[in-house]
Amino acid sequence: MKQGLTVLCACIRKKRILYCGHRHNNILNQPGAMSKELFGYLRNGEQGFLLSNGKFASRHQALIIAIKVNQVDKDKLTAKRSGLFSEDLY
């Protein structure tokens, strides 16, 4: 992992295209996603996070990075957490 790598924002990956927003629900509620077809398309995408290097990270990968660089207070995380939630960052 590169030094300085951080979690930037929520991201949904679908067919190698990244859709980003403050939180995952913000992505789904963007004006372009209001059609039933696009909403359903994005809702079935992989939820994760955009990193400072421009790459996608799964919720699990993002949690490891966020803990390592002190973006989250690991004492406030619930036990047996499988991944990062956007609420953990803000």
Strand order in the sheet with 46-51: 17-21, 7-14, 46-51, 56-58
Q: What is the pLDDT of residues 7-57, one digit of tens each?
A: 999 999 988 899 999 998 888 877 665 677 777 778 889 999 999 999 999
Considering only residues 33 and 63, tell me which one the structure prediction assigns the higher pLDDT.
Answer: 63
Q: Give the phi and the psi of residue 73 in degrees, each rounded to 5.
A: -90, 105
Q: pTM for the whole thing? A: 0.84
Across the range 57-65, mean pLDDT stands at: 95
Q: Which residues of 45-83 are buried (b: 16+ CB within 10 A; e: fewer)?
A: bebbbbbeeeebbbbebbbebbbeeebbeeeeeeeeeeb
